[in-house]
Amino acid sequence: MIRIEGILVSKGQGGVYSEKMIKGHRVWDPYRSKFAALAMIRKDVDLLPSQKVLYLGAANGTTVSHFADYVECVYAVEFAPRPMQDLIVVAGRRKNIIPIMGDATRPEEYAPFVEEVDLIYQDVAQPNQAEIAIANLPFLKLGGEVILMLKTRSVDVTLVPKDVFENTLAELEDAGLIIKDTCWLEPYHHDHACIICEKVSKN
Each as own residue / partner, the long-range contacts of residues 124-128 (CB below 8 Å, 24 or more positions apart, any chain) are 124/56, 124/57, 124/151, 125/57, 125/151, 125/154, 126/154, 127/154, 127/155, 127/156, 128/155
Query: Dihedral (C-alpha) 156, 126, 123, 180: value to the nearest 10 degrees?
Result: 50
DSSP track, 87-130: HHHHHHT-TTEEEEE--TT-GGGTGGG---EEEEEE---STTHH
State which amino acid sits at residue 136. N
CB count in 10 Å sphere of residue 128: 15
Residue from 56, 144, 130 nearest 100 by CA: 56
Residues 150 and 194 sit within 8 Å (Cβ to Cβ): yes
168 is annotated as contributing to ligand binding: no
125 is in an annotated binding site: yes
108 is in an annotated binding site: no
To the question of whether residue 124 is assigned a binding role by annotation, the answer is yes
Q: Is 105 annotated as a binding residue?
A: no
Per the annotation, binding residues for S-adenosyl-L-methionine are 62-63, 78-79, 103-104, 123-126
Per the annotation, binding residues are 62-63, 78-79, 103-104, 123-126
